[in-house]
């Protein structure tokens, strides 16, 4: 039950609130993209977790502020036990405290047995989750904001007046800007991409798989404040499942358009994206491109493969007969691209929780391919570097058992004065190498624009 609830002044742009704590370690902002887009309703802001869980390979380090212990237990189970028995919130807000952070794509190695062939050159945790006793919730529909606390951490009561005063204050504009110190480098040139593309097509012809998501990574040398980069990113590419996470090991900047898994009162929803086309320069061209995507048999078939995969994945933890597909091939439009988005729903089994569902579906099928395990093995074989946070997930799991999470696409990692970002797409039997290669740059356009340009010829090896 919610122990503390204080209304604070509503701000149309929640980044102004997060700005007050953006440089604190473990500060996190789950960002609906408002006011740059109006798809989302709620933003969530917090910092100062009373417990953190960081996973490297088979070891999870649990820090409660007084001691650090190491466990080889399943990390999803460790979060579940840390959250404890579900509580019932006294408000109707979707999140009132609990676990927040990221699950990197490479955490999938704790679930599936994969060959260790790609090079890991960015060493940050496979999972970084904090337990947050207080949270700022911003409701853009009601134009209200609240500071909510659970009093699971003794510091919440001690700091409540200070926290309330902080989020009532105007604060100040942080002025540390970022500067770029290199050209953008890709980890595959066009020939290398084409060779990997052809290997996937051969696997498909041989019956190994139906679809494989092939991604390339971009990197650039940067100095300055990653929060400043994120503020520019959310202007370039506002997204309903965006996030900024100031992890002590590296900042995560996500402008994801894709929901991975949501649980609300046992009802499950996932919204896989498959099918992408660029935005047009003029209204008529833009409309024609959107219609082209909607009518594309290839993109619809690609989307349907992932819908079937996600139906199967959520069925592991959903009640028999509850899984449905209420929406297929809906068009969603963003700053640089149009997407085809489908919706799959279900209801959790009586003995299952949100973290069981997350583990059973991780990593998301829309960014692996089908069948999932074979697609992940091929990704491991062909991509030169580990995916890291990319194609993992950021989100929350509440003390009440509810959850919401994204697929960490359109996501950057700031680590040791370098920024890394990725872009890719699903390769199927009738994919064409030139259009798939170009699609990577269309998806990465808003990110690459932050550092140099948004054309493929601005990117070198």
pLDDT of 265 strictly over 90: yes
* Catalytic pick among 51, 262, 271, 274: 274
pLDDT band at 117, cuts 50/70/90? confident
Q: Model pTM? A: 0.95
pLDDT at position 453: 47
**Range 197-226 average pLDDT:** 96
pLDDT at position 40: 86
Q: Tell which wins on pLDDT, 3 or 364.
A: 364
| Count, residues in the chain | 461
pLDDT tens for each residue of 352-390? 999 999 999 999 999 999 999 999 999 999 999 999 999
Output the domain CATH number for residue 427.
Answer: 3.60.120.10
Any bridge partners for residue 136, and if so which? 45, 147
Percent of the chain with pLDDT over 70: 97
Does residue 393 contact residue 365 with C-beta atoms inside 8 Å? no
**Range 194-211 average pLDDT:** 96
pLDDT at position 13: 95
Mean pLDDT in the chain?
A: 93
pLDDT at position 458: 52
pLDDT at position 171: 72
| Segment among 7-21, 116-130, 138-152, 287-301 with least mean pLDDT | 116-130
* Cis peptide bond prior to 360, omega within 30° of 0: no
Within 265-388, strands assigned E span 267-270, 273-278, 324-333, 337-347, 369-370
* Nearest Cα residue to 381 out of 197, 117, 114: 117
Is 442 annotated in the active site?
no
**Total number of domains constituting the chain:** 1
Domain containing residue 178: 4-460
Does residue 440 contact residue 425 with C-beta atoms inside 8 Å? yes
The pair phi, psi for residue 288, each rounded to 5°, is -65, -40
> Could you give the C-alpha distances from 242 to 231, 318, 401, in angstroms and in order?
11, 27, 21
* Catalytic pick among 51, 258, 377, 418: 258
pLDDT of 460 strictly over 70: no
| Segment among 104-108, 134-138, 174-178, 345-349 with least mean pLDDT | 174-178
pLDDT band at 456, cuts 50/70/90? very low
Within 109-160, strands assigned E span 127-132, 134-139, 144-149
* Nearest Cα residue to 102 out of 416, 395, 401, 450: 395
Is 316 annotated in the active site?
no
pLDDT tens for each residue of 215-228? 999 999 999 999 99
Does residue 366 sit in helix, strand or coil?
Answer: helix
pLDDT of 457 strictly over 50: no
Q: For residue 119, give the DSSP letter.
A: B
Any bridge partners for residue 179, and if so which? 223
Q: Tell which wins on pLDDT, 72 or 461.
A: 72
| Segment among 115-119, 297-301, 323-327, 377-381 with least mean pLDDT | 115-119
pLDDT of 347 strictly over 90: yes
């Amino acid at each position: 039950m919610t122990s503390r609830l204080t209304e604070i002044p509503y701000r149309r742009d929640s980044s102004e609130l997060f700005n007050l704590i953006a440089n604190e370690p473990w500060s996190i902002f789950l960002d609906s993209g408002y006011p740059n887009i109006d798809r989302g309703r709620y933003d969530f802001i917090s910092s100062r977790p009373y417990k953190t869980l960081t996973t490297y390979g088979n070891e999870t380090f649990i820090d409660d502020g007084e001691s650090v212990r190491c466990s080889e237990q399943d990390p999803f189970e460790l979060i579940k036990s840390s959250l404890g028995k579900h509580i019932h919130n006294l408000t109707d807000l979707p999140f009132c405290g609990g676990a927040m952070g990221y699950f990197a794509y490479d955490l999938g190695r704790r679930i599936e047995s994969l060959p260790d062939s790609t090079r890991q050159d960015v060493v940050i945790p496979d999972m970084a989750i904090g337990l947050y006793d207080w949270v700022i919730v911003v409701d853009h529909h009601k134009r209200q904001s609240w500071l909510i606390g659970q009093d699971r951490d003794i510091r919440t009561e001690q700091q409540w007046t200070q926290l309330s005063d902080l989020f009532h204050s105007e604060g100040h504009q942080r002025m540390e800007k970022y500067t770029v110190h290199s050209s953008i480098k890709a980890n595959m040139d066009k020939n290398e991409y084409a060779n990997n593309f052809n290997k996937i097509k051969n696997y498909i012809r041989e019956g190994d798989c139906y679809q494989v998501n092939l991604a390339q990574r971009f990197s650039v040398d940067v100095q300055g404040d990653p929060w400043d980069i994120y503020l520019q990113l959310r202007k370039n590419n506002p997204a309903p499942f965006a996030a900024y996470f100031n992890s002590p090991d590296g900042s995560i900047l996500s402008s994801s358009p894709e929901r991975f898994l949501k649980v609300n009162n046992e009802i499950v929803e996932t919204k896989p994206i498959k099918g992408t086309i660029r935005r047009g320069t003029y209204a008529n061209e833009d409309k024609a491109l959107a219609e082209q995507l909607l009518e594309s048999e290839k993109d619809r078939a690609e989307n349907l493969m992932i819908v079937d995969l996600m139906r199967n994945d959520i069925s592991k933890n959903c009640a028999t007969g509850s899984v449905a597909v209420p929406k297929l091939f809906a068009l969603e439009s963003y700053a640089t691209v149009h997407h085809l988005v489908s919706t799959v729903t279900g209801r959790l089994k009586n003995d299952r929780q949100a973290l069981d569902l997350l583990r059973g579906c991780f990593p998301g099928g829309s960014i692996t391919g089908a069948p999932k395990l074979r697609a992940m093995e091929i990704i491991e074989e062909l991509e030169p570097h580990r995916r890291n946070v990319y194609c993992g997930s950021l989100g929350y799991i509440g003390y009440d058992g509810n959850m919401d999470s994204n697929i960490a696409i359109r996501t950057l990692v700031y680590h040791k004065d370098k920024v890394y970002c990725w872009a890719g797409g699903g390769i199927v039997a009738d994919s064409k190498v030139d259009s798939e290669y170009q699609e990577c740059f269309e998806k990465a356009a808003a990110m690459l624009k932050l550092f140099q340009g948004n054309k493929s010829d601005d990117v070198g090896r």
